[in-house]
Chains A and B, each alone.
Chain A
């Protein structure tokens, strides 16, 4: 296991360097002059020339990459050209928000998706199976922004139970924080729950027809023990992989949901920064999310060891 871990860790650094080059290089393919969009309505030529100098836009690409990566190694991700705020500060403001939303959404997805998948597989062909499948279809086919707006109209405008949007830090007011996060977390979690349910169901069906499950049943174990102890454990492997991937995607920001609920997370930041050609912000945020993604995949690999004793040997 430790050998595996060391090997994986050794690949992380070159992967991140490659990712940083990719982010930097791909960004240059964006059409339009960033100085022009940053110069605003007036389009003053002296301002455009100044921004060109400031952003090193007239210098060769490798040199510009060197400026940026040199700063990254020193812990300086640069400043947002649009708002003058340091990129690290922006990330520090957004990361807890994105993290909380991602974890809450994942918790909702797991709480709904896995039990629904188990019930559906264990009771294949029953009303429960049909209900769980209908839920999955609904979850997969409902657009996030639409569900979000409908929920706002119902729970905020009509019933007045929850705030329509916005974010309150849990350290300021935990209840207000949860009230603000519950709708976006549900909207995001709902779609992932549907995916998890479908995967849990098919993995469970496969495992439930395996020989060792038949043996367990023949030994006279009750169905609950067979399903939850013997079958589920083996069925969890693909679900862990999927869960890690989905969580990684959530960490890179949920643009539409953040937009609808005005949650100041990574998704909104990165989209606005791309449209405003605020390169340093895009680079900083993508680097952080790429790191988070890679770390989550590593954690998923470690989770395999915990779940499957076969891998430990």
Chain B
């Protein structure tokens, strides 16, 4: 049938053939302007979206959060879990033509660890040294077993940049990054566009079907969508949940909905500063339990996120392999909440909820306030600009704080820095020697089943103390042209370019 049709319209056939061969550009609308494009220094989520086209990593993750090969083709742990041997892909070159080999891996890991201002230092802290075995084999020696390492190497800590370019550019490397991904850096105009061009020497070039990628930061979700609908974008990340029905009704567009690996929660100051002792919420675990019981998570997801969120009560979503089933999501129980408050001797506790000024956080604060009121809580909302709120959180100058986390592929990335004693993101001030021991133990275990058992114990302890009341996991909502095929729904929310194709 197809063949016959083609023969019937030869002119069209002729017209289409060169079109398909024409240079193709993928235009991606980003929700923010990325920060510096240096994998060692990079800090923003949206920067990782651009890196997915620019810088290959040693490993990647797939739709099921499984670690899959990228620049490393195989790995092997030593029996004591203190040495990780990586086999590297052959025939890989950086965008400046330099060869990717074991020496380049050594250079990159050491750069991540030693570069002033590197954000990867903490992620690679257990890596004590890197040994070049041969050009295609490298060995990472760890100071202690650290099972989340593979997941770290599947993110920015595993991104490889050209050693020659990095040495030449020094601190300024991020202004003109040179990596080994499918596309090479062409130009960046702050807040306007980042342009990448196809790298002819890419090891997996058959999977790449675009000649150019233009990333355009368009912070306003309505405008981002208008650009997509008017054909000026092929892909828009993070569209507004309120627009999703309208997008689904549009036959020219497609959508993807992926449960994030991060979470939205309310951090409670239970030991960060003296303020914890001055407020019943921070002082008494029963009051925190009552607060959690006063909240209807499904209602929150519905009102705040237009139901574009999966409710949860832990650092990972219920569909995650490491979700601790021994601590299920508690149902809303206002009567029990009131009883707990009475038992604690504070039937009408009052506290201030610091909420960043984003529309989502503000909506969440108002709904939480109204739900908690039914149990007797008097929640005062303090709308605070994000930079200021971060400072307040760090100083412990808060009672409760709405904070979201973009999430990491390994549960350790969502947990350790928040719940181990004196960690930078432990704004709650939670500290328990037993929990620390369990968290450290989980880092030494490679068997997922064994790790899960330890996480169940962590959940039983931490979720009882409630330094963070986890509420839901947002859905990544992508909208893109119906002509765009090969979009993979990977839970980290980053657009993978291999296999993407735009139909004529």
Given the known interface contacts A36-B391, A39-B43, the answer about A80 and B190 at a Cβ–Cβ threshold of 8 Å is yes
Q: Which stretch from B227-235, B473-481, B488-496 is at the chain A interface?
A: B227-235
Tell yes or no: B197 within 8 A of A by CB: no
Given the known interface contacts A54-B117, A149-B222, A262-B223, the answer about A36 and B394 at a Cβ–Cβ threshold of 8 Å is yes
Q: Once the chains bind, are A40 and B119 in contact (CB under 8 Å)?
A: yes
Q: Once the chains bind, are B121 and A44 in contact (CB under 8 Å)?
A: yes
The CA of A44 and the CA of B121, in the complex, are separated in Å by 8
Binary B-proximity of A74-97 (CB < 8 A = 1, otherwise 0): 000000101111000010011000
Q: Once the chains bind, are B122 and A44 in contact (CB under 8 Å)?
A: yes
Chain A residues numbered 188-214 whose CB sits less than 8 Å from any CB in chain B:
none
Q: Once the chains bind, are A37 and B232 in contact (CB under 8 Å)?
A: no
The CA of A157 and the CA of B246, in the complex, are separated in Å by 14
For A41, the chain B residues whose CB sits under 8 A away are 43, 45, 405-406
Contact among B43, B223, B229, B231 for A260, CB-based, below 8 A: B223
Minimal beta-carbon separation of A132 from chain B (angstroms): 32
Q: Once the chains bind, are B385 and A40 in contact (CB under 8 Å)?
A: no
Q: How many A-B residue pairs have CB under 8 A?
A: 146
Tell yes or no: A275 within 8 A of B by CB: yes
Q: Once the chains bind, are A47 and B388 in contact (CB under 8 Å)?
A: no
Tell yes or no: B378 within 8 A of A by CB: no
Tell yes or no: B142 within 8 A of A by CB: no
Tell yes or no: B219 within 8 A of A by CB: yes
Q: Once the chains bind, are B230 and A160 in contact (CB under 8 Å)?
A: yes
Tell yes or no: B189 within 8 A of A by CB: yes
Minimal beta-carbon separation of A304 from chain B (angstroms): 38
Minimal beta-carbon separation of B216 from chain A (angstroms): 7
Q: Once the chains bind, are B174 and A275 in contact (CB under 8 Å)?
A: no
Q: Once the chains bind, are A43 and B190 in contact (CB under 8 Å)?
A: no
- Which of under 10, 10 to 19, 20 to 34, or 35 or more describes the interface residues of A? 35 or more
Given the known interface contacts A36-B390, A47-B119, A156-B230, the answer about A84 and B223 at a Cβ–Cβ threshold of 8 Å is no
From DSSP, what is the main secondary structure of chain B's interface residues?
loop
Tell yes or no: A223 within 8 A of B by CB: no
For B405, the chain A residues whose CB sits under 8 A away are 41
Shortest Cβ distance from A163 into B: residue: B232
Q: Once the chains bind, are B387 and A157 in contact (CB under 8 Å)?
A: no
Tell yes or no: A187 within 8 A of B by CB: no
The CA of A293 and the CA of B230, in the complex, are separated in Å by 37
Shortest Cβ distance from A43 into B: residue: B424
Q: Which stretch from B31-39, B53-61, B280-288, B320-328 is at the chain A interface?
A: B31-39
Shortest Cβ distance from B219 into A: residue: A259
Q: Once the chains bind, are A157 and B43 in contact (CB under 8 Å)?
A: no
Chain B residues numbered 284-323 whose CB sits less than 8 Å from any CB in chain A:
none
Q: Once the chains bind, are A264 and B385 in contact (CB under 8 Å)?
A: no
The CA of A31 and the CA of B123, in the complex, are separated in Å by 29
Give residues in A with beta carbon < 8 Å to B: 30-34, 36-47, 50-51, 54, 80, 82-85, 90, 93-94, 149, 152-153, 156-157, 160, 163-167, 259-262, 264, 268-269, 272, 275-277
Sample 5 A-B pairs with CB under 8 A, ordered by A number.
A41-B43, A83-B34, A157-B230, A165-B223, A262-B227
